[in-house]
Amino acid sequence: MLERKLCKFRVASSCLYPSQLTTPSNPDALTELLRSAFGFAGFRAGQQAVCRAAVEGRDLLLVMPTGAGKSLCYQLPALARGGTALVISPLIALMEDQAAKLAALGLRVARVHSGMDRSAARQACVDYLQGALQFLFIAPERLRVPGFPEMLAKRQLALIAIDEAHCISQWGHDFRPDYRMLGQYLPAMRPAPVLALTATATPTVQADILAQLGMLEPVKFIHGFRRVNLAVEVVEVSMPERPAAICGLLAAAERRPAIVYATSRKQSEKLAEELARITPAAAYHAGLDAETRERVQTAFQAGELEVVVATIAFGMGIDKANIRTVIHAGLPATLEGYYQEIGRAGRDGSLSRTYLMHSYADQRTHDFFLNRDYPPVDHLTQVFRALGEPPQAVEELRSASKLGEEEFDKALEKLEIHGGARVDFGGYVAAGGAGWKKTYTIQAQFRAEQFEKVLRFTTSSECRMAALVRHFGDVEDARKTCGICDVCDPAGAVLRQFRRPTAAELAMVHMIADELRPVDYKAAGTLQRAVDASGRLNRTEFDGLLDAMVRAGLIGIEDAEYEKDGEVRRFRKVRLTEAGLELRESMPVALLISDGVVDEFAVRTASSARAKKPKAAAAKTAAGRSAGAAAAPLKLTAEGEAIVARLREWRAAEAKRLGVPAYLVLHDRTLTALAAERPKNPNEMLMIDGIGPAKVERFGEAILGLCRGIHQEG
C-alpha cells in the first residue's frame, strides 16, 4: 500500500522532480509524502527547510538536539528522490533501531555490519545491486573491506546520510577513526548529496565535519540546543555516597524510567545490582556479549526494565520518549557527551530531571583515562620507528614491541589517526607521514582542556542550560535562563540541598557588596583576602557564598584569564549587579547556600557526618529558619489547615496544567510553611524553604492571593 502511494507521488511530481519538488508551485508535496509514508500531519520545527534542501540535492550539515527528529530529515528526502539511500551509522544498535522502524512502515531496508552472518550481508548487497532497497544501512568500517566501495559505486544513490557525524572530527567527543576516513570514499559515490547529521557539534567540530567530508557548497542548519523541559542539577557527592543517593532518587516511581551513566563497567554492574532490589534494572557496557546487550536494550525499550546502568556505550540507539531521569554517577569527559546523554530524557516534552554527581575523586579517574587514551609521545615514536614502507603484519609488530599489548594497540591507533601509520583491513600496517607528532600533541592537549570545561561547568553559577547553549556557540540564546535548574530554582532542587545563611555569612555578603561598590570588578581571590583577612572561610566556602549571591542576583561572575611567564592563568571576575549596588545593611537578603545532598538521599560516613555537623549547627543559629529547623513538624490552626487545603487544590490544578508531578510545583512541607507564615509580599515568600526566585516569579501572585483571600475570609 505504502509503495503504491510512493509511486503515485513520484509519478505526480515527475515533471518537477527533484529540484522543483518544493518550489512554491507545489508547497504541499513533501507534507503529503510525510503524511502518507510516516503518518505525521506536519513537520516539527526546523525539519521542512532541511528536507527541501536535501530533496534539491544540496550537501548539508544538520545539528539538531536529540529527540528533535533528525532521522526524518534524511528519510523523507530519500523517499522523495527515489532510489536507494545509503545510511552510515557508527553503532549497530542505532542502525538496527532505525532499520526496524522503517521496515515496520513497509519500506525495503537492509543492513550490513559485523553482527550479521555472511549470507545475510551478501543478500543485502545483491538486493542493493538489483535496486530492490530504499535504505541500506552500513557501519563505517565496511568501506575498508576490499571491493565494497566499488560495489556501492555501481548504482547511483539517492543520497548519503552520515548519522552521528560528530564522530568524524578529532575535536568531537566521540571520535571514530573509521569515520574520519569517510571523505576519501565519497567522490566515487557522487553526485548523490551528502547529509551529515548530529546532535552535538561545537563550531570547531562543525567546520571540521565540512572539511573532512569535502562537502560541495554545503548549507548548514544549526537548530537550538535549548531543552526547555530538562531541569539540570549538579551536586557534589562523594564516591561512597553515590549509590545511596541514586537508589533514593529512583525509588520513586515518578522518576522512572531512568538511565544511570557509570564511569566504569565495574561501577555499572554494582549499581545495577543495588538498584535491582527496588526496581527492574540491568547493567549495559561494552564488556557484555552482543546478545546480552541486545536483550537489555530491548527490555528497556519495551518497559520491562525501569533502569539501565550503563557506560557511554549505551544510548545512541535508544529512542524511548518517556525517560524521566538521567543520572551521571561521575563526571563525563566532555560537555558535548554530557549534553547528548542528558538529551535521552524527556523526549515526550514532559518535565524531566538530570543529576550530575561529582567530587575531587572524579578528576583522578579522568586523569587515568586520559593517560590511557592518550599515551606518551615516546610510545608512538617506538611504534613509528618499527614501521617500514612494505606493509607488515600487526600481530608480528605487536609481538616484537617492548610495549604491552594494550599500550601498543593504543599507540598504533593514534598513529593511524594522525597519519603516522597506514593500516589496511587485512591487518597489515605500513609507515605513514612524519608529521604526526605535532597534531597528536595538539589533540592530547585539547582533550585535557575539554575536561577542564566540564570542571568549570560544575562550579559555574550560570544557569545550567544557558551554559550548555553557550558552549555550542549560541551566545544570543545563552542570555535566557531556564528557570528550572538548580541555579535558577535552588528551592525546587530535588537532590541538591540548600540552607539559609548564618548571621556571619550575611555580614560577609554586605562586606563583599561594599568592597565591590567602588570598582568595576575584582578577582575572586583578591576579593576574599580583602573581606576575610582572618581566614574564617576556606576557598570552597567563600565560593559557595559567591554562588549564592549570584543566584540572588546581587553579583555576576565571569571566567577570565591572563598570561604570565608564558603560562595561561584563569581567574573569576566578580562584579556587582544593579541589585547589588542598591544593597544596604537594613535590607533583607534572600540567600540559599549550597549544602550538599538532601538528607533523605544521603548515607553519611563518619568523616562526612563530622564535616557536616559544624555547618548545620551554625545554620541553626542564623536569623530566620535553617534547613534543619524547617524540618521540624509545624502545628497549624484551623485557619492554617484551610489554607493548606486551598493550596493543595491549586497545586493539583497547576500540576495537571503543566503535566508534572505535584511535588515539582511545591513540596508538602512548603505548603505547610506557607500556611503557617502567611506571607504578604514576595520578599516574605522568599524566606520560606522551598520557595526560590523562579517560583515567586511563576506562582507568587497566585499563592499570595490564596493566602490573603483565606485570611480575609477568616
Tens digit of each residue's pLDDT (9 = 90 or more) over 64-108: 877 778 899 999 999 999 999 999 998 777 788 889 889 999 999
Fold of the domain spanning 378-446:
Arc Repressor Mutant, subunit A (1.10.10)
Q: Which pLDDT does position 713 carry in this prediction?
A: 39
CATH superfamily of 638-713: HRDC domain (1.10.150.80)
Q: Which pLDDT does position 568 carry in this prediction?
A: 75
- Least-confidence region, from 32-41, 176-185, 398-407, 427-436: 176-185
Of 516 and 291, the structure prediction assigns the larger pLDDT to 516
Spatial CA neighbour of 245 closest among 368, 163, 330, 129: 330
Q: Point out which residues pair with 571 in neighbouring strands.
A: 560
**191 pLDDT above the threshold of 80:** yes
Radius of gyration in angstroms for the set of CA atoms belonging to the chain, rounded to a whole number = 29
Q: What is the DSSP letter of 44?
A: P
**503 pLDDT above the threshold of 90:** no
Q: Which pLDDT does position 313 carry in this prediction?
A: 56
d(CA 614, CA 186): 65
Q: How large is the average pLDDT for residues 537-541?
A: 85
Tens digit of each residue's pLDDT (9 = 90 or more) over 335-386: 988 998 998 899 888 999 999 999 888 888 888 888 888 899 999 999 999 9
- Least-confidence region, from 250-259, 297-306, 415-424: 415-424
Strand 593-597 versus strand 496-499 pairing type: antiparallel
438 touches 380 (CB < 8 A): no
Residue carrying the nine cell digits 490573603: 708
Tens digit of each residue's pLDDT (9 = 90 or more) over 250-287: 999 999 999 999 988 899 999 999 999 999 999 998 88
Q: Is the domain covering 2-222 a CATH 3.40.50.300 domain?
A: yes
Please report, rounded to a whole number, the percentage of residues in the chain having pLDDT higher than 90. 35
647 touches 674 (CB < 8 A): yes
Which secondary structure element, helix H or strand E, spans residue 307, and what is its range?
strand 307-310
Q: Strand locations in 75-210, DSSP E?
A: 85-88, 109-112, 135-138, 159-162, 194-198
Q: Do domains 378-446 and 490-624 have the same CATH topology?
A: yes
**630 pLDDT above the threshold of 70:** no
Q: Which pLDDT does position 173 carry in this prediction?
A: 62
d(CA 285, CA 269): 9
Q: Which pLDDT does position 230 carry in this prediction?
A: 93
Q: pLDDT-derived band of residue 50, with 50, 70 and 90 as boundaries?
A: very high
Q: Whole-prediction pTM value?
A: 0.68
Q: pLDDT-derived band of residue 614, with 50, 70 and 90 as boundaries?
A: very low
CATH code of 490-624, in short, is 1.10.10.10
Strand 352-358 versus strand 230-236 pairing type: parallel
Q: pLDDT-derived band of residue 306, with 50, 70 and 90 as boundaries?
A: very high
Mean predicted lDDT score pLDDT of the chain: 83
Q: pLDDT-derived band of residue 170, with 50, 70 and 90 as boundaries?
A: confident
- Least-confidence region, from 159-173, 212-226, 342-356, 653-667: 653-667
Q: Which pLDDT does position 634 carry in this prediction?
A: 64
**584 pLDDT above the threshold of 90:** no
Of 129 and 692, the structure prediction assigns the larger pLDDT to 129
Tens digit of each residue's pLDDT (9 = 90 or more) over 544-559: 899 889 888 899 888 8
**478 pLDDT above the threshold of 70:** yes
Of 420 and 92, the structure prediction assigns the larger pLDDT to 420
- The SS3 assignment for 392 reads strand
Terminal Cα distance for the chain, rounded: 69
- Least-confidence region, from 8-12, 650-654, 655-659: 8-12
- Least-confidence region, from 377-381, 459-463, 527-531: 459-463
**Side chain identity at 663, as an amino acid letter?**
Y
d(CA 415, CA 374): 11
**Domain coordinates of the chain in residue numbers?**
2-222, 378-446, 490-624, 638-713
Q: Which pLDDT does position 700 carry in this prediction?
A: 85
